[in-house]
């Protein structure tokens, strides 16, 4: 059972026996707002406390991955040793604090979506720059239409399978191709 902050901090002082090792570690790493201290299921809601004692609550039906967990399995999760995620082994679902914040806080969602859009645009621009540096045309990316290449280069985002096609066109291993794109993102 999760204790209230008042129970954890008796007389204003933390009680060492009440703090799991992951909370102590999180604070020593400066990652208390990124790691999970504890979690529990209350009816049809998941209640999670960060190591900074931030309370996050979400209904199982409000998050697509949580909808997949049968009622009788909802409490069958573990918290990773360092507290970076919750894991439901039978469904192979991993859930971290950022995913929860994204689902329940519109400000976090908007901020993340704006960041992702900017990242995807920079990523696409770097892909286009590398293609042009290699003197390849959009039509030289076998397995993708010029329209698909154009959309990716404009920042639509893509999957690893399509990035493999770009790597092949550049006669590079995928990891080398991605490293070249990442290096260009720094200067684009």
For the chain, what's the residue count?
188
Residue 124: Cβ within 10 Å count = 23
- Which architecture, in CATH terms, is 5-104? 2-Layer Sandwich (3.30)
Q: What is the pTM of this model?
A: 0.65
Per-residue pLDDT tens digits of the chain, which is 188 residues long? 444 544 444 444 444 444 478 888 899 999 999 999 999 999 999 999 999 999 999 999 999 999 999 999 999 999 998 899 999 999 999 999 999 999 999 999 999 999 999 999 999 999 999 999 999 999 999 999 999 999 999 999 899 999 999 999 999 999 999 999 999 998 86
Task: With CA atoms as reference, report the closest residue to 169 among 155, 180, 154, 156.
Answer: 180
CA 136 vs. chain centroid, Å, equals: 33
The secondary structure of residue 48, as a DSSP letter, is E
Q: Which CATH number fits domain 107-187: 1.20.1250.20, 1.20.120.140, 3.40.718.10, 1.10.260.40?
A: 1.10.260.40
Spans of all domains in the chain: 5-104, 107-187
- On whether the CB atoms of residues 37 and 27 are closer than 8 A, the answer is no
């Amino acid at each position: 059972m999760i204790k209230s902050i008042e129970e954890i901090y008796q007389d204003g002082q933390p009680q060492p026996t009440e703090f799991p090792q992951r909370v102590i570690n999180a604070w020593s790493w400066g990652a208390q707002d990124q790691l999970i201290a504890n979690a529990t299921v209350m009816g049809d809601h998941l209640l999670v406390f960060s190591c900074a004692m931030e309370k996050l609550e979400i209904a199982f039906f409000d998050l697509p991955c949580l909808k997949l967990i049968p009622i009788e399995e909802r409490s069958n999760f573990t918290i990773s040793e360092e507290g970076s995620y919750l894991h439901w082994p039978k469904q192979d679902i991993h859930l971290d604090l950022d995913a929860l914040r994204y689902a329940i806080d519109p400000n976090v969602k908007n901020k993340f979506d704006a960041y992702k859009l900017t990242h995807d645009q920079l990523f696409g621009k770097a892909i286009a720059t590398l293609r042009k540096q290699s003197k390849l045309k959009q039509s030289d990316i076998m397995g993708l239409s010029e329209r698909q290449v154009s959309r990716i280069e404009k920042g639509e985002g893509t999957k690893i399978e399509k990035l493999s096609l770009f790597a092949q066109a550049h006669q590079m291993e995928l990891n080398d191709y991605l490293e070249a794109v990442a290096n260009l993102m720094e200067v684009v």
